[in-house]
Amino acid sequence: MKTKGIFISMMVAAMALLFASCSEDDETSVDVDAENYNTEVYITDAPIDNAEVDAVFVTIADVQIDGQSLSGFEKTTIELSALTDGETQLLGDLDLNAETYNDIDLILATDSDANGDSPANYVVVDGSTKVALETSNATISIDDSVDVVAQDTNELVLDVDLRKAIVTDEANGGYNFAAETQLNTSIRAVNTLNTGMVSGSVSNDTENQDGVMVAYAYEAGTFTGAEAEENASGVRFSNAVTSSVVVDGSQEFNLHFLEANNYEVHFASFTDTNSDGTLEFEGMVEAEADGSVTLDNIEVTANNEVTLNIILMSILPF
């Protein structure tokens, strides 16, 4: 009985020590998700597919993530149309927890630009003519979410797709901001830690050598023929993740900031058929990749680039 009593006493003592050790570990352990991580926020642009547009300027009054403004942000005017082909402009930074954020607001100035001049937001056509862009709601509530991860190299990119954000409006000098719902979906938010890109060059065997070719990236399995139709806002290919004009001369295209996923790439031809400076949609382009990669299932992984050689074979009339 005495031996049994000693054994029980030793077990109680051991359990007490183990509990104390666990308590100390709990007190000293770090919850990485609860820590703040400095996060830089950039802006970039997918090109507008209209030959008449020389530049697009927007004035940003504030950028907020979960209601917090970027540190030290001041009203700034940006030529968005210059931020293509992976070019970005730093807007500011913010300390954020490692979690998913789906409350991201880009707030436009509506009275004047950063220099105090009006209009605050405008398209430049014919080299110097400004067409003011108006919106019923200055706050663009980005219809997307983005993850901040537990390390101090987070770079969030707000990718504005100008061809979705700006629509034809003859009553307003030719152009205007899209309606609120369309405008909210015209901007993607991505963390560069989770993105790769698709790039390539094309050989054009179509009969139209003067047209502008545009590459559109879709999540695999989401493209349908209806995408070539204009939606209620007058936007074609409205569900494309991003797009890239095939550069005249080099015949290259670059689809940047694609989150790791499988994608399909489609090409369309645009031509100024009536010489008015506006490109009209001509049709989809039959295309194939040279090699083992198929254009309907391209795997993109983080921090990697997929390079394609594309043969554009014929234009399928719309």
pLDDT digits (tens, 9 = 90+) for 298-314: 999 999 999 999 999 99
243 found inside a domain: yes
| Assigned domain for 283 exists | yes
Give the angle subtended at the CA of 106 by the CAs of 102 and 111, to the nearest 5°.
Answer: 155
CA distances from 75 to 40, 58, 82, 83 (A): 17, 11, 19, 18
Instruction: Look over the chain and give the mean of its residue pLDDT values, rounded to a whole number.
Output: 88
| pTM summary value | 0.87
Residue 290, domain member (yes or no): yes
Give the pLDDT of residue 276.
72
| Backbone phi, psi, residue 199, to 5° | -130, 165
pLDDT at 40 over 80: yes
C-alpha of 241 from chain center = 7
Give domain status of residue 3, yes or no: no
The answer to whether residue 13 is domain-embedded is no
Per-residue pLDDT band for 66 (boundaries 50, 70, 90) equals very high
User: Whole domain around residue 121: which residue ranges?
Assistant: 33-317
Once rounded to an integer, what is the mean pLDDT over residues 131-136?
94
Domain for residue 253, yes or no? Answer: yes
Give how many domains the chain has, as a whole number: 1
If one compares 29 and 243, the residue with the highest pLDDT of the two is 243
Q: Is position 23 within any domain?
A: no
Model confidence pLDDT, tens digit, residues 180-233? 999 999 999 999 999 999 999 999 877 666 778 999 999 999 999 999 999 999
Among 31-45, 259-273, 292-306, the minimum mean pLDDT is found in: 31-45
Identify the CA nearest to 78 among candidates 116, 41, 114: 114
